[in-house]
Amino acid sequence: MRALLVGAGHRVIASDDGRKALELAAVARPVVVVLDLVTLGKDGWEFLERRAREPALLGVPVVIVAGTSGALPANAAAVLRRPFEPSALLERVGALIRSRGA
This prediction's pTM? 0.89
The correct answer on CATH 3.40.50.2300 for the domain covering 2-99 is yes
101 has pLDDT over 90: no
Overall average pLDDT of the 87-97 stretch: 97
- Say how far apart CA 78 and CA 81 lie, in whole Å: 10
Residue 102 has pLDDT above 70, yes or no: no
User: What's the pLDDT score for residue 95?
Assistant: 96
For the chain, domain boundaries: 2-99
Tell me how far CA of residue 74 lies from CA of 22, 34, 40, 47, 77, in angstroms.
Answer: 19, 15, 18, 14, 9
Q: Estimate to the nearest angstrom the gap between the alpha carbon of 83 and the chain centroid.
A: 16
56 vs 41, residue with greater confidence: 56
Planar angle of CA 58, 38, 67, nearest 5 degrees: 105
